[in-house]
Structure 1
Amino acid sequence: MQIVRTILWVLLLVAFVGFTFGNMDKDAEVRIWFGYVWNTKIPAVVVLSFLLGMIPTWLLHRGTKWRLTRRIKTLENAVQATAVTAPIASDTAPATAPSAKVAEPSSPFDAEPNTAGSTPKL
């Protein structure tokens, strides 16, 4: 994924450099507010517009990443805390006497005698 991102950035940079050399002789007049006018080259307007659009989105991305990283670390710490406090089954537990195995009936009809003539309970 890193290579795709690098290729896209390089292509964007090449396109911008080509745009800059093609439009360096053209001036742009940008009216800011209350009669202020900024005379500049077109590539400067493009870079400023790009940054004005990218910086808030980048800040939102970084804030979301920071919040999710904190959340993941909190959950990992909670899992570690429960793993430490949970009892661990040991192979060296004292042996207990084997319990007597109770014979199970082979069918539900053998479990209870049917003396009342009703259907057997399952």
Structure 2
Amino acid sequence: MKQIRIVLWLALIAAFAAFIAMNAETARVNFWPYGAGYLHFDWPVGFVALVFFLAGFVPPWAAGRLRRWRLKRRIATLESSLVTQAGTYPPTDAASDAAQPDIHS
């Protein structure tokens, strides 16, 4: 599965690099009304695409990583509490009978 993911990422990077190479012209990007006009930048089209791709990709990716980290931490906490609780209970009757040898035979 990891190899497939690597191949897909490499294909995405190659396609994006080809897109940037084919679209090297600059484009005016208007961001926000600023005084009498707009706050604008003249950037290459590929850079604009990269910026907006990352603006849409990074927040959900970061939220997913944070959710995974919280769940792993919660699982570790629950597992450690189970280990500490398992040591505090006395053995059951079935376990204590199995531990003692049968002397009546």
| TM bracket (short chain) | 0.7 to 0.9
Give 1:96 shift.
7.8
Q: What amino acid does structure 2 have at the position aligned with 1:93?
A: Q
- Residue ranges of structure 2 left out of the alignment (5+ in a row): none
Aligned partner of residue 32 in structure 1, secondary structure: strand
Name the counterpart of 1:56. 59
**Equivalents in 2 of 1:77, 1:95: separation in Å?**
36
Deviations 1:42-63 (A, max 9, x none): 0001100111011111210121
Name the counterpart of 1:70. 73
1:27 aligns with 2:26: yes
Aligned partner of residue 42 in structure 2, secondary structure: strand
**Larger RCO, structure (CA 8 Å, separation 6 or more):** 2
- In structure 2, the CA distance between the partners of 1:56 and 1:92, relative to structure 1 (3 Å rule), is closer
Larger Rg: 1
Q: What are the within-5 Å matches in structure 2 for residues 107-118 of structure 1?
A: none
- In structure 2, the CA distance between the partners of 1:28 and 1:77, relative to structure 1 (3 Å rule), is same
Give 1:69 shift.
0.8
Give 1:79 shift.
1.8
Of the three residues 37, 41, 46, the one matched with 1:38 is 41
Percent of matched pairs sharing the same residue: 35
Which structure's residues are more often strand, by fraction? 2
**Equivalents in 2 of 1:87, 1:43: separation in Å?**
67
Give 1:82 shift.
2.5
Name the counterpart of 2:10. 10
- In structure 2, the CA distance between the partners of 1:92 and 1:13, relative to structure 1 (3 Å rule), is closer
Name the counterpart of 2:100. 93
Alignment size in residue pairs: 97
